[in-house]
Amino acid sequence: MIKSDRKFLLLVLIPIFIEAMIFLVIPILGTIGISFTDYNPIAHKMDPVGLANYKGLFDDPKFVIAFKNTLVFTIVAVGLNIIISLTTASMICQLKSNKTRSFFRMIVFLPCIAPMVASAVVWGRSIMNTKTGLLNEIIRMFGGHGIAWTGDAQYVMLSVIIFTLWADLGYNIILFCAGIDSIPGDVYEAADLDGCTGWQKFRGITLPLLGRTTTFVVLMTLISYFQMFAQFSVLLFKDGPQNSGLVLTSYIYKTAFVYKEMGYAAAISVVLFLLILVVSLIQQRVNKVDWEY
C-alpha cells in the first residue's frame, strides 16, 4: 500500500474510531465502573462498594424473574421469527412476477415502518383489549370466552411475542428474500432436471446456501430481542401481574430512573451485556459457514 493511500484510509477511519470511542467504548467502561459503586445522582453520592451490587443480584427475586423472562421471550420469539420469516420469504420468492413479489414484500414490511410505541398503543387498546379487543371478538364469534391478554400472567408473554412478531417480521423477510434471490438459478434448474421436489430443493439447496444470511439474521435478531423495551413498557401495566412481563431492560430502567440506584442498575446492565456477548459468540461458533458458489 502506497503512503498516500494509507493516509487516506487513516483520514476516513479516524472519525469512525472517535465516534466508537465516544458512543460505545467510553459508555461501556463507564457503566462497568459505576457498577462497582453505590451511585445516587439525587443524593450526590458515589461510594465504592466493590462486588456488592453483583452479589446482590443472586438474592434479588425480581432480577431472577427478569432474567428468566428475558431468556424465555428471546428464545421463543427469535425461534418463531426465523421460522415464519424464512417460510414467508420462500413463498414470496416462488412467485413468478416481479411486481407481485415486490407487492408482498411491501405488505410484510409495512408494520416495520410504524413506530413501536404507537403500534403498541393501538394493539393494547383496540386489538388486545379485554372487553372490546379484535382478538377477543374473533374468539367470541367461535363461541369462546374473552382472554385478558395483558392482564393474565399466563398470557402476558404470549401477547408480547405476538405483537413483536407482527411488528418485526418484515425486516427478516426482506433479508431472507435477498438471500434467496442471490442463489444462482442454475442450481435449482439442475435440481429440477434431477426430479427434486419443492421440499427437497428447500432442504438441500436453499437452507445450506442461506447459511451466511441465516447467521446474520439470527445474530441481529438475538441482539435486538435481548434489548426489547418499548412493547413491555406500553402493552403491560406495571410489568404485568406477578411480574410476568418483567424483563432485564425494564428492570434496568426502573432501578436507575425510578429508584435512583444507578450502581445496581449498571450491574444489571453489565450482566445483560455479557449475556448478549456470550450468546452471540456461541451462535457464531455454532453457525460457522465456509462455502462458496
Single-letter amino acid, residue 228: M
- Residue 119 grid cell: 403500534
- What distance in Å separates the CA atoms of residue 57 and residue 59, rounded to the nearest whole number? 5
Q: Give the tens place of pLDDT for each residue, 112-136.
A: 999 999 999 999 999 998 888 999 9
Q: What is the CATH number of the domain that holds 101?
A: 1.10.3720.10
Report the percentage of the chain scoring pLDDT > 70.
96
- Residue 194 grid cell: 434431477
- Domain assignment of residue 194, yes or no: yes
Q: Give the tens place of pLDDT for each residue, 263-291.
A: 999 999 999 999 999 988 888 777 665 55
Mean pLDDT for all residues in the chain: 90
Q: Which residues pair with 48 in a beta bridge?
A: 37
- Domain assignment of residue 7, yes or no: no
Q: Give the tens place of pLDDT for each residue, 184-196.
A: 888 888 888 888 8
Single-letter amino acid, residue 135: L
CA nearest to 93, candidates 79, 108, 111, 78: 108
pTM value is 0.90
- Domain assignment of residue 100, yes or no: yes
Q: Is 62 exposed, middle or buried (0-12, 13-18, 19+ CB in 10 A)?
A: middle
- Domain assignment of residue 229, yes or no: yes
- Domain assignment of residue 228, yes or no: yes
- Domain assignment of residue 9, yes or no: no
- Domain with 167, as residue range(s), is 21-286
Q: What pLDDT was estimated at residue 4?
A: 64
Q: Which residue has the higher pLDDT, 131 or 61?
A: 61
Q: Give the tens place of pLDDT for each residue, 26-50.
A: 999 999 999 999 998 887 888 999 9
If one counts every other C-beta atom within 10 angstroms of the C-beta of residue 136, the result is 20
For residues 88, 93, 96, 102, the Cα torsion angle rounded to the nearest 10 degrees is: 80
Q: Provide the number of structural domains found in the chain.
A: 1
- Domain assignment of residue 77, yes or no: yes
- Domain assignment of residue 292, yes or no: no
